[in-house]
Amino acid sequence: MPELPEVETVRTLLSRQVLGKTIDYVEILDFHMAQKSTYPLTKLNHQTIQKIARRGKFLIFYLDSDILISHLRMEGKYYLQEETEKNTKYARILFHFTDQTKLIYDDMRRFGIMEVYPLEEEKNIPCLKKLGKEPFQITPEELFLKLQKSTTEIKASLMNQSFLAGIGNIYADEILFKSKISPFQPSNKITLQECALLIQNAQNILNRAIELGGSTILSYHPGKGIDGLFQEELNVYGKKENICPDCHHHLKKAQIHGRGSTYCPFCQKVAKIVGIYGRIASGKSTALYYFKSKGYPVFSADEEVNNLYKKDKFFQAYCLHLFGETILSTYGTINKSVIKKIILEDEKKKTALENYIYPQIEKKLKIFIKKNRNQEFVFLEVPLLFEAHWDHYCDYILALDAPIEMQIANLKRRKSKTISKDLEFNASHQFEKNIKKCTDYLLNNGSLSDFHQKLEQFLQKIKKD
C-alpha cells in the first residue's frame, strides 16, 4: 500500500500533469467506486483543479467549489492520457478534461476511496478529521503523551493513522530499525527521548523516500513507466532473508497485529542491556552480583569461559592441540594460568584461542538476551567487551575503575599467585582507550557500601532515562 512518500510522489506528479485543467465531465465506469461518496462525483463537472494537497495517505484535489478526497489503498493509480488512447485495464473513473485529455483512476481491487465534499465542509470531512499529525509536525512531547495511553506494540501505534498520519508497514519497519526500538515494545514504555528519536528518523527516512520517488514495492507505481527508488535503500522491510546491516545477525520476521514485521532481534531489543566493563579486580563481579540481588538477569562471560575450560570436552581438546600438554595440571585438568602466560607472549595463539572462545560465548550471550528480552534491564559482565566486539549489544556500558592499591588488594583476597602477570595482562587490554566508548564511569575507591551506593545511583539514573 502506498504510504506518505509514495502518495506525495503521486501528488507532485499529478500537480504537474493536471493542475489548471477543467473537467468537462466525470465518467463512472464502476459504480461500486462512485457509491462510496456522499455527494455525487459528477458534481465536479465543469470545475477546474486549483490545487492538489496531501494529508497522511490521502490526496486532496481542490476544485472551484468542491473537494475530491482520494485514497489509493492497495492498488489505486492515476494515469493521464489523450482522449484517443485506450483506457487502462482496471479503469474505474474517468475525468475527461476540456483539452482532450483524460485522467484515469485505475484500481484492480477497488479498495480505493473517492469522495466529494463541498469546499465549505472541508473542516468536517470524517476521514480527514480522524487523522493524527504528520510526522513533520508532531513534537516529541505530543507523541509521548499519545503513546502513554496505549500498551499496544509501538509498531502498531506508528501505523495507527489517528496517532500519526502517513506511516504504513514499510516505513514503520524502517523507522523502528533506525531508532533501534523493538517493534514489540509496548507504546507506553517508549521514553520521551525515544519519541524524539522516532520523529527525527521518521522525518529523515520519509524525506529521503520522497526525494527518491517512494519505494516501488509490489504494484505501486507513481505513474506509467515511473518507479520509485527508495526500495534500494530499505534496510529491513521485505528482507527477512538478509543479515542486519548494523550487527550482521540474521533479521527476523514476525506478525504484529496481522502485519508482517521485519526487524533485527539484536539491534532492536526490548530489554536494555548494560555491559559492565573495567580493569581487573575493579569490582566487576561485585557489581554484577549487586544487580542480580536487585532481581535483574545477569550474564558473566568469565563464568561462561570457566565452564568451557571445565566442562567442554571439545574445547579441552582444542587447548591441548594448540598449547600442548604443558597446560595440564598434575590432576590432568587445564591450568589456565599457564595458558595466560603463553598467550601474553604469543599473539598468534592468543588470536587462535579467542577465535574459538568468542563465538562460543556469543552464542550463549544471544540465548541469554533472547530469553530475557522482556525484562527492563539485563546486565553483562564482559571483561573483553570491546576486543570481542560485543559493545554493540549494549545500551549502556559501565566502566569500572579502581586505584592500583585496591586492585592489588582485591587480587590478594582472591589468592591470586600471579598478581603482576594479571596486572600486566589487564594493561594489554587498553582500558584507557576503551573507556571513552563507555556511557558511564564509576570509580571504586571506597568501602563496599560506598561501592554499592554508587551502583545504586547508576541504576536509578538509567531507570530514569
**What is the Cα gyration radius of the chain?**
31
Catalytic residue among 11, 57, 92, 146: 57
Asked if 362 touches Zn ion (CB under 5 A), the answer is no
> What angle is formed at CA 453 by the lines to CA 451 and CA 458, rounded to 5 degrees?
95
In the list 28, 128, 196, 247, the residue contacting Zn ion (rule: CB under 5 A) is 247
Please report how close the Cβ of residue 177 comes to Zn ion at its closest, in angstroms: 8
DSSP helix/strand/coil, 176: helix
HSE, side-chain direction, 13 A CA sphere, residue 316 = 13
Q: Which is nearer to Zn ion, 61 or 393 (CB)?
A: 393
- State the number of binding residues for Zn ion (CB under 5 A): 6
Element (DSSP H or E) covering residue 308 = helix 301-311
Catalytic residue among 43, 240, 259, 421: 259
Contact 49, 78 (CB under 8 A): no
- Contact segment (CB under 5 A) with Zn ion among 15-23, 110-118, 141-149, 265-273 equals 265-273
Q: Could you give phi then psi for residue 82, rounded to 5 degrees?
A: -75, 150
Q: Which is nearer to Zn ion, 68 or 267 (CB)?
A: 267
Please report how close the Cβ of residue 8 comes to Zn ion at its closest, in angstroms: 29
Please report how close the Cβ of residue 32 comes to Zn ion at its closest, in angstroms: 45
Q: Which is nearer to Zn ion, 217 or 251 (CB)?
A: 251
In the list 27, 142, 227, 246, the residue contacting Zn ion (rule: CB under 5 A) is 246
Catalytic residue among 2, 5, 222, 383: 2
Contact 393, 266 (CB under 8 A): yes
**DSSP string over 178-236:** HHT--TTSBGGG--HHHHHHHHHHHHHHHHHHHHTT----TT--SBTTB---GGGG-SS
- 180 burial class (0-12, 13-18, 19+ CB within 10 angstroms)? middle
Q: How far apart are CA 166 and CA 159, in angstroms?
A: 8
Strand order in the sheet with 377-381: 298-300, 377-381, 272-278, 396-401, 440-443
Element (DSSP H or E) covering residue 311 = helix 301-311
Element (DSSP H or E) covering residue 411 = helix 404-413
Q: Which is nearer to Zn ion, 95 or 266 (CB)?
A: 266
- Contact segment (CB under 5 A) with Zn ion among 39-47, 113-121, 261-269, 318-326 equals 261-269
In the list 10, 68, 116, 244, the residue contacting Zn ion (rule: CB under 5 A) is 244
Q: Is 3 a catalytic residue?
A: yes
In the list 52, 94, 125, 267, the residue contacting Zn ion (rule: CB under 5 A) is 267
Contact 361, 309 (CB under 8 A): no
Q: Which is nearer to Zn ion, 109 or 392 (CB)?
A: 392
Please report how close the Cβ of residue 154 comes to Zn ion at its closest, in angstroms: 17
Q: Which is nearer to Zn ion, 197 or 287 (CB)?
A: 197
Q: Which is nearer to Zn ion, 244 or 384 (CB)?
A: 244
- Contact segment (CB under 5 A) with Zn ion among 68-76, 260-268, 327-335, 448-456 equals 260-268
Asked if 264 touches Zn ion (CB under 5 A), the answer is yes
Q: Which is nearer to Zn ion, 230 or 266 (CB)?
A: 266
Please report how close the Cβ of residue 266 comes to Zn ion at its closest, in angstroms: 5
Residue closest to Zn ion (Cβ): 244
Please report how close the Cβ of residue 400 comes to Zn ion at its closest, in angstroms: 27
Q: Is 297 a catalytic residue?
A: no
Please report how close the Cβ of residue 438 comes to Zn ion at its closest, in angstroms: 21
Please report how close the Cβ of residue 392 comes to Zn ion at its closest, in angstroms: 8
Q: Is 110 a catalytic residue?
A: no
Grid coordinates of 393: 549489544
> What angle is formed at CA 15 by the lines to CA 10 and CA 18, rounded to 5 degrees?
110
- Contact segment (CB under 5 A) with Zn ion among 61-69, 237-245, 335-343, 348-356 equals 237-245
Q: Is 413 a catalytic residue?
A: no
DSSP helix/strand/coil, 118: strand
Q: State how far Cα 116 lies from the chain centre.
A: 39
Cite the active site residues: 2-3, 57, 259
Where do contacts with Zn ion occur on this chain (CB under 5 A)?
244, 246-247, 264, 266-267
